[in-house]
Amino acid sequence: MIGLVAFYTCSIIVRLGFSLELYDTPDLIAAMWGIWGRRITVFMSAVLMLGALMAYNVILNSAFYKVLDALSIWMADKPLAECTTCWGSFSTHYTPFILMGVLALLLNMKDKKSYIRLNSKGIYFLLTTVSFLIAVGLRALGVNKWTTHGSSDWITDHKHCEGDWNCVDTKYEVPIKLFNNGFLVTAGVVTLSFFLHNCVIIIMKNNQEPEHNIRDLACGYFATGFCYFLIGLLGYFGFSGNGFPQGAIAQNALDMFQPTNPFAFVIRMVLCVQMTTVYPMVSYLVRVQLFGFFYGTDFPSRKHLIVYSLVVTSLTTIVTITFPNVGSIVAFFGAICGLYFVYLTPVIMYAKLTGKPSTEDPKKLQTAATESLMYAAPSSAPPSRLAVALHCLIPVLGLVILVFQFVPPAAL
């Protein structure tokens, strides 16, 4: 449902952007709300990507520490520390400072081509991670017996399966839930997962066949949704079966593997490389928006760049140490910024598409002159009452998702 809503609201932005020939979302919102609309949009976009940087840092730190822990066990026959979250020994509280130095250096590159070249290699690591998750899910479907009823403490009679992800004991059934009352918490994550609204017009600007923009957008959302569905479904079965702690799946599913698991070790190495390519690129996008808004250029000076790099890496490092819950971080930022970008502003744009033209600003009345863009021209016909009601429900949905990020599932 969220994927369909996100696709529809994103299509509104595309239609209005091409009809007014405004190919940047902040410019589009500025045409409706003026300079304050632009400021709010740039701020919310930067906050959203900053939340993504926090999540990336948490994932990177977890993978990096587990890699070091595995090497310590293999080489010295002992883990790095008995307590992985304590300050008294080398733990996950110290590795973020090592990563901070590496990331700060990567963020100081001036040329965007360097970021693009670095990030372009990330697709191979992403495919490796996705293939691994699919394999875990398919394996679980083959070696476990599933039931929608029964006790969840069945593992207590089979200690030899605990901690052994390759356990193939199928004598007892594995209980699963078909419904979880915490799904609205996940809705915040899904909102961010389907988020494309602040850059979709720029992406589709150079489309060779702009009359097919909505079709192409639908294909992209379908492919993305299918990937999420496949990973979510197989991941749920995969991390609920034999060999994993029974109960809630960890927000970072890789944490459910032992440090010395060879497959998880490889994936953690892959994630370390992948996150060090994605983090600088997203940080560059934030820098472009903020510096471009305040200084009119993405590189005002080397001093500005150094200060920016230190501030961003320090903030994400603090979050990694104090709140290393990647799922919660993504959910909160997805719900907060998604309310603005996905559920609210497109509905207001819909009013612009379907309302009667205004004579206040000539630029707002600009419509497509070429035949290829006539499909996106705003209509002066008033919407039906049903259409108005359905569109009013969209921001209500976003508000409900935001509110439930602060409600524990156990309280529902």
Q: Which positions ≥6 away from 5 have C-beta within 8 Å? A: 342, 343, 394, 397
Q: Is 102 left (phi over 0), alpha (psi -120 to 50) or beta?
A: alpha
Give the pLDDT confidence score for residue 178 in this predicted structure. 81
Distance from C-alpha of 128 to C-alpha of 28, rounded to nearest angstrom:
38
The domain 2-80+89-411 is placed in CATH, from the list 1.25.40, 3.40.50, 1.20.1740, 1.10.287, at 1.20.1740
Q: Are the beta carbons of 224 and 365 closer than 8 angstroms?
A: no
Q: Are the beta carbons of 240 and 174 closer than 8 angstroms?
A: yes
Whose structure tokens read 């976009």? 45
- Bridge partner list, 146: 174
Secondary structure element (H or E) that encloses residue 175, with its range: strand 173-175
Give the pLDDT confidence score for residue 368 in this predicted structure. 36
- Bridge partner list, 174: 146
Distance from C-alpha of 25 to C-alpha of 21, rounded to nearest angstrom:
11
The answer to whether the predicted template modeling score (pTM) of the entire model surpasses 0.75 is yes
Q: Are the beta carbons of 198 and 41 closer than 8 angstroms?
A: yes
- DSSP-assigned letters across all residues of 1-69: -HHHHHHHHHHHHHHHHHHHT--SHHHHHHHHH-HHHHHHHHHHHHHHHHHHHHHHHHHHHHHHHHHHH
**Domain spans of the chain, in order of start:** 2-80+89-411
Give the pLDDT confidence score for residue 362 in this predicted structure. 38
CB burial string 199-231: b at 16+ within 10 A, e below: ebbeebeeeeebbebbeebeebbeebbeeeeeb
Give the pLDDT confidence score for residue 340 in this predicted structure. 93
Distance from C-alpha of 372 to C-alpha of 63, rounded to nearest angstrom:
48
**pLDDT tens for each residue of the chain, 412 residues long:** 999 999 999 999 998 888 888 888 888 888 888 888 888 988 998 899 999 999 999 999 999 999 999 999 999 888 888 888 888 888 889 999 999 999 999 888 776 676 677 677 677 878 888 888 898 899 888 888 888 765 544 444 444 555 556 655 555 677 888 887 778 888 999 999 999 888 888 888 878 888 889 999 999 999 999 999 999 999 888 888 777 776 678 888 888 888 888 888 999 998 888 888 889 888 888 888 888 888 888 788 889 999 999 999 999 999 999 999 998 999 999 999 999 999 999 998 887 666 544 444 434 434 333 333 333 444 456 677 888 888 899 999 999 999 998 887 665 5
The closest alpha carbon to 280, from 255, 309, 319, belongs to 309
